[in-house]
Chains A and B, each alone.
Chain A
Amino acid sequence: MNPRRFISAIAVIFLQSLVLSFPSQADQKINTTVVAKEKNVLYLFNWNNYISADTVERFEQYCNCELSQDYYSDNEEMLAKLVAGATGYDIIVPTGNAVETLIRQGALKPLDKKLLPSFKNIDPRYLNSSFDPGNKYSIPYAYTLTLLGFNQKIIQELNLPTDTWAIIFEPQYLEKIKGRVTVLDSQRELMAIALRYLGYPVNDTDEKHWKKAQELIARAKPYWAAFSNASYVKELAVGNLWVVHGYSNDIFQAALDAKNTGRKFNIIYRIPKEGAVLSLDSIVLHKDGSRPDLAYQFIEFMLDGKNSAELTNLIGSGNPNTHAIQSIRKDIIENKAIFPDQESFTRLEMLRDFNRNQRRLLGRIWTEIKLR
């Protein structure tokens, strides 16, 4: 084999290995085994960018320990990794439905509230949720709303409503914004608002209602540009998208980007009158955690108003902590799509986990929707 041909052959093998190693979520680090028991390390399994770096630094000084974080980008991914055998985490920050799943799996440790005097800081509206009655296992940390984001300038020009899901479901509105709308690439979130728009609860499991929601989605789909969970943030910020079904944190980021880059429009977000989905993320203790002492220190630290407010000021997340309110920036606290008034609050619903047959059926409906 002459050298050049040899190099080409190597190149082909190299490229093949690249194909085989295309990145997948499963490639990320799965296992964080506690090696150095002597060292003071608290293992946190958290959402991406869900605690301020300043907070981490101050906590590490306060507890004289190290905070080690692994990240997930959705609850299903987190649950899948735990089922696949990820261990060693002291604290996880799942959304309500995932908390319920973890409780039923017996994967959590009950909390001793006596060790958490600041627990009283939490707004009672966010306590005693259906996923964990009496908050035996979970302490509310922050929340996100799934709502509508708009390019204010264009919506005003086109004279479209901003207070109803009809704008992403009804052809009479969609005709004016065809190809400039995205909805979340999430079976549960999209189904939830379709059901809500039809007047059903978001956790409805009646197959007939699912069929109706499927028809509603299928009718609107030709007008949507894409199902998008991530790229919609940037596209909204630069003005390519005009209406998005998305998360309040993400739209907060898009609004900030549009402002910082001096765009000639504002990004606004609203809770539609039909209601919206509330995702309450809570701190829970995993049963395999080896440092409950540090974990309680961490929870108590995060229940402090100032520390809790830091995250809200950073990413625009909702905050269930009444003591945090005074430390939160004025423009955020006055945003009704992040801190809803009592009337809007009553129209928020949380998602509950479906059983495996319901999941399989919904997965099928989802495939049908996408293929059509």
Chain B
Amino acid sequence: MIKEKNIVRWLLSGVPLLFLLLFFIAPSLIIVFTSFRFPGEFGGLAPLIAPMGTVDVEHGLTLEAYQFFFSDTLYVRVFIKSLQVAVVTTLICLIMSYPLALLIARSKERLRNIMLLLVVLPFASNFLIRIYAWVIILDPESVLSYFINLILNLVGISPVIFLFSPFAVLLGMVYVHLPFMILPLYINLEKHDPILLDAAQDLGASHWKCFWYITWPLSISGVSSGIVLVFISALGMFAVPDILGGTGDILIGNLIKDQFISTRDWPFGAVLSIMLALTILLIIGLGAYFLRRLRKRNYAT
């Protein structure tokens, strides 16, 4: 009986396991392997073994691409810039999503479902089309630009152009990632027992104290999963800066894409991808560590 159960379990988990092995671990290993190769003369990779009858053809394994990465601070600066954008995007998403998620979680059931639907509705259209829609909205000739500049003109400030600016990139990033923050927060906040808040209020706690000592600590797991979802995706984004960005809006995503398409330098592209993955793992690891310490302290008090 027990044995049979085990077989069923293995069969059930075998498919996803195989899927992960094939489509996650194998490509990752290929990327690691690629990063130690020489780039091919025309793109792709140089051969591992020198072709028959040729001398001095580049082949084999090398640390060259890694050396190039560390040869000066340029690429690290692109990483730092991308990290800044990702952190700011995540924070804005969090600040904007929390009240909304709270509102949805505490609404009546019918209203709640409608609001949830509205949050997910933009996903009915393609991601790129929604970003191109922002091009039209932020256009210097658009209604929005017209009215904002009209007001700025009254105050005596010279007109601004929103399109192709770091502001447009940030706006696009926040817009794209907002639902990824709202939904995990909502799922968490909806579970909270209202009796806790009633009790606190009966004992004379202010609204603020109720929030700070009850709702917020209970929502930490929702907050952290929202942060992880938004932060990782924002860090690797290349389409938003490509479409909405100006002359200085290069992020790691764009840099990696450049290596594979225009420079045709696969090993260096692979090195950049590995560095990105390591950065994410490091940050998530640190985050998890501090979260655990925070929890322990909370239980202690």
Do chains A and B interact in one complex?
Answer: yes
Chain A residues in the interface with B (C-beta under 8 A)? 4-5, 8-9, 11-12, 14-16, 18-19, 22-26, 74, 76-77, 79-80, 83-84, 101, 104-105, 179, 185-188, 221-222, 224-228, 231, 235, 238-240, 353, 355-356, 359-360, 362-364, 366-368, 370-372
Report the Cα distance A12→B44, complex, angstroms. Answer: 37
**Mask: chain B, 66-102; 1 = CB below 8 Å from A; 0 = not:** 0010000011011001000000000000000000000
A367 touching B78 in the complex, CB below 8 Å, given contacts A12-B184, A80-B260, A226-B245:
yes
Q: Is the CB of A225 within 8 A of B161?
A: yes
From residue 233 to 290 of chain B, which have CB atoms closer than 8 A to chain A?
Answer: 233, 239, 242-243, 245-250, 254-255, 257-265, 268
Q: Which residues of B contact A8 (CB under 8 A)?
A: 116, 183, 186-187, 190
A77 touching B261 in the complex, CB below 8 Å, given contacts A18-B127, A83-B43:
yes
B144 to chain A, nearest CB (A): 14
**Mask: chain B, 208-247; 1 = CB below 8 Å from A; 0 = not:** 0000000000000000000001000100000100110111
The stretch of B5-13, B135-143, B146-154, B292-300 in contact with A is B135-143
Q: Is the CB of B261 within 8 A of A25?
A: yes
Q: Whose C-beta in chain B lies nearest to the C-beta of A83?
A: B44
Q: Is the CB of B183 within 8 A of A226?
A: no
**Mask: chain B, 110-147; 1 = CB below 8 Å from A; 0 = not:** 00010010001001001110000001000111000000
Residue from the list B44, B161, B229, B239 in contact with A22, Cβ < 8 A: B239
Q: Which residues of A contact B74 (CB under 8 A)?
A: 364, 367-368, 371
Report the Cα distance A370→B257, complex, angstroms. Answer: 14
Q: Whose C-beta in chain B lies nearest to the C-beta of A26?
A: B260
A186 touching B233 in the complex, CB below 8 Å, given contacts A5-B187, A5-B190, A11-B120:
no
A79 touching B43 in the complex, CB below 8 Å, given contacts A8-B186, A12-B187, A225-B246:
yes
Q: Is the CB of A187 within 8 A of B263?
A: yes
Range, interface on chain B: 35 or more
A131 to chain B, nearest CB (A): 14
A221 touching B247 in the complex, CB below 8 Å, given contacts A18-B127, A80-B43, A360-B68:
yes
Q: Is the CB of B250 within 8 A of A370?
A: yes
Q: Which residues of A contact B247 (CB under 8 A)?
A: 221-222, 224-227, 370
Q: Whose C-beta in chain A lies nearest to the C-beta of B75?
A: A367
B172 sits at the interface (CB 8 A): no
Report the Cα distance A179→B168, complex, angstroms. Answer: 14
A360 touching B116 in the complex, CB below 8 Å, given contacts A18-B127, A83-B44, A224-B247:
no
Q: Whose C-beta in chain B lies nearest to the C-beta of A5?
A: B187
B163 to chain A, nearest CB (A): 8
A80 touching B265 in the complex, CB below 8 Å, given contacts A8-B183, A11-B120, A22-B127:
no
B202 sits at the interface (CB 8 A): no
Report the Cα distance A367→B247, complex, angstroms. Answer: 11
Closest 9 CB pairs of A and B: A363-B263, A83-B44, A226-B164, A370-B250, A225-B164, A19-B233, A356-B39, A83-B43, A12-B183
Residue from the list A4, A9, A231, A359 in contact with B265, Cβ < 8 A: A359
Chain B residues in the interface with A (C-beta under 8 A)? 39-44, 68, 74-75, 77-78, 81, 109, 113, 116, 120, 123, 126-128, 135, 139-141, 161, 163-164, 179-180, 183-184, 186-187, 190-191, 229, 233, 239, 242-243, 245-250, 254-255, 257-265, 268
12 contacts between A and B (CB under 8 A): A11-B183, A16-B229, A76-B261, A76-B264, A83-B264, A185-B242, A221-B247, A353-B42, A356-B39, A360-B265, A363-B265, A367-B74
Report the Cα distance A221→B246, complex, angstroms. Answer: 10
Report the Cα distance A368→B254, complex, angstroms. Answer: 13
Q: Which residues of B contact A235 (CB under 8 A)?
A: 139
Give the most central of A23, A25, A359: most B CB within 10 Å: A359
Report the Cα distance A238→B163, complex, angstroms. Answer: 14
Report the Cα distance A228→B245, complex, angstroms. Answer: 10
Q: Which residues of B contact A363 (CB under 8 A)?
A: 258-259, 262-263, 265, 268
A246 to chain B, nearest CB (A): 15
Q: Is the CB of A370 within 8 A of B261?
A: no
Give the most central of B113, B123, B258, B268: most A CB within 10 Å: B258
Residue from the list A4, A227, A356 in contact with B40, Cβ < 8 A: A356
Q: Is the CB of A23 within 8 A of B128?
A: yes
A277 to chain B, nearest CB (A): 15
Report the Cα distance A367→B140, complex, angstroms. Answer: 28
Q: Is the CB of B42 within 8 A of A79?
A: yes
Residue from the list B40, B81, B239 in contact with A371, Cβ < 8 A: B81
B252 to chain A, nearest CB (A): 11
Q: Is the CB of B123 within 8 A of A18?
A: yes
Report the Cα distance A133→B245, complex, angstroms. Answer: 42
Q: Which residues of A contact B179 (CB under 8 A)?
A: 15
Q: Which residues of A contact B141 (CB under 8 A)?
A: 238-240
B16 to chain A, nearest CB (A): 13
Report the Cα distance A25→B257, complex, angstroms. Answer: 10
A240 touching B140 in the complex, CB below 8 Å, given contacts A9-B187, A371-B77:
yes
Q: Is the CB of A355 within 8 A of B120?
A: no
Q: Which residues of A contact B140 (CB under 8 A)?
A: 240
Further 17 A-B residue pairs, CB within 8 A, beyond A5-B191, A179-B161: A5-B187, A8-B186, A8-B190, A11-B183, A12-B180, A19-B180, A23-B127, A74-B261, A80-B264, A83-B44, A84-B44, A187-B262, A355-B41, A359-B264, A360-B39, A366-B258, A371-B81
A153 to chain B, nearest CB (A): 15
Q: Which residues of A contact B233 (CB under 8 A)?
A: 19
Q: Whose C-beta in chain A lies nearest to the C-beta of B164?
A: A226
